[in-house]
């Protein structure tokens, strides 16, 4: 599965949940997407939920912005420099981000970044339409 395929499949899962949460306020929706609640109520949203495992070891981990809106990617790559294809990058150049560099590729490394998982940030860019939210963040 390419990143694009995963991204669109994930967005569809998000939409199905949101269709069931129309009765909740925006704040209640954000709270619904807290890791502990999602593990209990939406076990199929993330493969890690079955192991009760977090993608990032953070207190207050929120899953609303999974597939961070600042993550930029192209399955075929942006450009090639010094023999390496750049496949992904961070649009805000988060200090918590890094890069995986191999002999022929560069990928964005978000494993230490907490930016999209904090509720303050989620509320800042919140949109009930996940695809629109992902597209609108610059
Ligand atoms: S480094 Fe952080 S802000 Fe940047 S794309 Fe990755 S998760 Fe998002």
Is the CB–ligand 1 distance for residue 88 below 6 Å? no
Tokens of 93: 């150049």
Q: In 3-state terms, what secondary structure has residue 67?
A: coil
Question: Whole-structure pTM over 0.85, yes or no?
Answer: yes
**Domain segments of the chain as ranges:** 3-136
Tokens of 129: 């339409």
DSSP state, 41? H
Tokens of 98: 């890094």
Q: Which residue's C-alpha comes closest to atom 6 of ligand 1?
A: 110
Please give the distance, rounded to the nearest whole angstrom, from the Cα atom of residue 23 to the centre of ligand 1.
31
What pLDDT score was predicted for residue 123? 95
Instruction: Give Cβ neighbours of residue 8 (< 8 Å, ≥ 6 apart).
Output: none
Is the CB–ligand 1 distance for residue 94 below 6 Å? yes
pLDDT in tens, the chain (138 residues): 888 899 999 999 999 999 999 999 999 999 999 999 999 999 999 999 999 999 999 999 999 999 999 999 999 999 999 999 999 999 999 999 999 999 999 999 999 999 999 999 999 999 999 999 988 775
What pLDDT score was predicted for residue 127? 95
> Distance (Å, rounded) from C-alpha 104 to C-alpha 68?
25
**Residue to mutate (ligand 1; options 71, 98, 117; most atoms within 8 A of CB):** 71
> Distance (Å, rounded) from C-alpha 77 to C-alpha 87?
4
Contact predicate 37/46, CB 8 Å: no
């Amino acid at each position: 599965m390419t990143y694009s395929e995963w991204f669109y499949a994930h967005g569809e899962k998000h939409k199905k949940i949101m269709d069931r949460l129309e009765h909740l306020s925006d704040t209640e929706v954000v709270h619904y997407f807290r890791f502990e609640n999602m593990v209990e109520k939406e076990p199929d949203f993330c493969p890690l939920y079955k192991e009760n495992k977090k993608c990032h070891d953070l207190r207050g981990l929120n899953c609303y912005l999974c597939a961070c809106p600042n993550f930029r990617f192209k399955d075929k790559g942006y450009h090639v420099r010094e023999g390496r294809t750049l496949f992904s990058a961070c649009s805000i150049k988060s200090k918590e981000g890094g890069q995986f560099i191999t002999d022929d590729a560069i990928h964005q490394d978000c494993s230490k970044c907490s930016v999209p998982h904090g509720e303050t940030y989620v509320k800042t860019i919140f949109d009930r339409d996940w695809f629109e939210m992902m597209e609108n963040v610059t």
